[in-house]
A and B are shown apart, each in its own frame.
Chain A
Amino acid sequence: MRLTLDDILMLDDWTDADLLSVRSAIKADPELGKALLNWFALLSEAGQQWLKDVPAREGLVLLACRDLISASELSEAEAAMMADAETRLEQAIQRHPAVSRVMDRIRLDALAFETAWAQAASGQTTSTSSTSGTYSMGKVAEMEPDRGPLRPRGPMRLVRIAMATAAVIGSFFVGRTLMNDSAQPNLPTFAAVDSWKNVTLEDGTQIRLAPGAALDLLTPPGAFDRQVLFTGEAYFDVTSGVDPFVITSEDAVTTVLGTSFGVRTQEGTEVTLVSGRVSLAPAGSPSQAVILLPGQQGRITEPGIQPLVKDVELVRELSWTGLLIFRETPMSDVVKQLADTFEAVITVSDSLKDAPLTGTFEADRGCRSILEIMASALGAELIENEDGSFELSR
């Protein structure tokens, strides 16, 4: 069947077979050829204007990944290219908004690389090799083609956190089956038995372990990969660094840069992002990754299915962390959350109602202590009345 104009416009691959079919259609209908030539001229003009205005692709890569690729590792040519790209970027985006899309895509590409690297480091992979053998980053391993992600085998899942000491990379893995082969004796273990416990890793990353959670260092300092085990629920405050953390679970892969977020692994994997940027993908399906923005929650309940993403109220969704988390939250909403949490009566003056507040507070500090901190930060006065109610004014 001869290709129509619509067919040709929608061609995605332009394979050799496609090319032959289009040539055949043009030969049979010269007017179709003229229409296509006009169309291609239009596309070419768009491409030419892009080339004139937008920095080179390599420059976009370097700019998009500046947090991942150390400036000291750039060649002179790359450094010059990056400087040129930086100078021209703002104007390029003004003229071609698609540049921002490309930059975002490149960042996603980088996150996909991090994910592939972390999976290889853990012996997990979904790829097959075309050469003489298949290899993992840590050990030689047989790899199966596309067998799909592991399914949870028990009610309690475990998160194994892999961190590279030299490059300060972290990879987290959920799954009892994964951790059994990896635990090593004589390495530090952190556990929150019946109360919250704060753990600080070498790179400054802070992890707030929920009661019942445990964190085990798996590899000794100085090893290429530093790994820890995590079980339960936790709130992560990852220090911004050159390399991202890659969190892999039985049903999800979460890649993060410096950021704060909560992870729960009951009935799937749920990630609630407070700040920064997170890529969340089903295990074994990095192409299904979604980018979470602050205030969003991603949830994976089925392997291979793109995460469900929704906007959430952070204080409510992360109440299990024992933290009160506010990001640019108007004070009128802040005091409402505090009033609900502590069953207190709190009023705020009109001049403060719209004032935005950003901060993270441990709820067990108590209502008065938290209000005192807020008042100090806002330059406001806190009054505690005889009936136990509070007034914030400025």
Chain B
Amino acid sequence: MENLTELVSKAKEGDEAALSQLLRALESPIRAFFISRIGRRADVDDLVQNTLLRVHRGLKDLKDNARLKAFAMKGALYELQDFYRGRYTAKETLFDVHDAPEIEDSNSTAGASIDVERALSSLSDKAREIIELREYGYRYEEIAEMIGSTEAAIKMQVKRAFDRMRDALGLFLLWASGIVFLQK
């Protein structure tokens, strides 16, 4: 098999066969990379295809043909970041637009914002860090790896953060028999 530098060169000159051969050769390491990061799941196919698309579209701008690996890596890392960005957007569709309950302890949007800021500032540094990593798109298990803790400890921090938020918003949460009562 021709080496990748030659394939890049030919592909940039318009050789469709070389381009096809190049992208097929790239598929295996890119797929293995995504599986290693997020496991074997349907999203991997999309991430692989999107990365190959990035390589295809950007190949003409690759100045040094021998730098293909770094070029492909950059595309794969961008795609992984996009994946994290969209990982938990599903929860944003949780409430029907016409049916959403109002945020507690607020009479206006500005009031709600202030209250939420206050609640956020009441969290411990550790809890704040965990929440930020979660919002970034990492799973609890991944966060535990990142900060050298256990998944159980991370989840405990999240639960405590929720409780702190509840307290900061001046709410009294009675939790019994699986039923939540919220009072001002």
**A residues with CB within 8 A of B:** 2, 4-6, 9-10, 12-16, 18-19, 22-23, 26, 29-47, 49-50, 57-58, 60-62, 65, 68-70, 72-73, 75, 96-98, 101-102, 104-106, 109-110, 112-117, 119-121, 125-131, 133-140, 143, 164, 166-167, 169, 223-225, 242-243, 286-287
Contacts and interface: CB of A to CB of B under 8 A. Distances in A.
Contacts, number: 243
Interface residues of B, number: 89
Contacts of A50: 132, 135-136
Pick the 3 closest A-B CB pairs, nearest first. A166-B66, A224-B3, A120-B29
Max count, chain A CB within 10 A of own CB: residue among B73, B82, B134: B73
Max count, chain B CB within 10 A of own CB: residue among A30, A72, A109, A225: A109
A224 B166 CA distance: 59
Contacts of A115: 36
Interface of B: 1, 3-5, 24-25, 27-33, 35-37, 39, 45, 48, 61-64, 66-67, 69-74, 76-78, 80-82, 84-85, 87-88, 90-95, 100-104, 112-113, 116-117, 119-120, 125, 128-129, 131-136, 138-142, 146-147, 155, 158-159, 162, 165-166, 169, 171, 173, 175, 178-182
Given A14-B91, A119-B29, A120-B28, A112 B131 contact: no
Contacts of A26: 94-95
A113 B103 contact: no
A139 B2 CA distance: 9
B133 A113 contact: no
Contacts of A164: 66, 69
A243 B66 CA distance: 12
19 contacts: A29-B180, A31-B180, A33-B95, A38-B171, A45-B113, A45-B116, A46-B128, A61-B78, A69-B73, A70-B70, A72-B64, A73-B74, A97-B129, A98-B129, A101-B147, A105-B146, A109-B77, A119-B29, A143-B28
What is the interface of chain B mostly: helix, strand, loop, or mixed?
Answer: helix
B61 to A, nearest CB: 7
A30 B182 CA distance: 10
Contacts of B128: 46, 98
A129 B45 CA distance: 9
Contact of A73 (B67, B85, B93, B171): B67
Contacts of B62: 73
A101 B133 contact: yes
Contacts of A45: 113, 116-117, 120
Contacts of B131: 42-43, 46
A114 to B, nearest CB: 8
Contacts of A129: 27-28, 31
Given A45-B113, A50-B132, A30 B1 contact: no
Contacts of B142: 105
B37 A41 contact: no
Contacts of B3: 223-225
A2 B178 contact: yes
Given A9-B158, A133-B24, A16 B90 contact: yes
A35 B180 contact: yes
A162 to B, nearest CB: 13
A109 B101 contact: no
A167 B64 CA distance: 10
Max count, chain A CB within 10 A of own CB: residue among B27, B78, B171, B181: B27
B29 A73 contact: no
B136 A116 contact: no
Contact of A22 (B4, B84, B94, B129): B94
Nearest to B122: A42
A120 B27 CA distance: 10
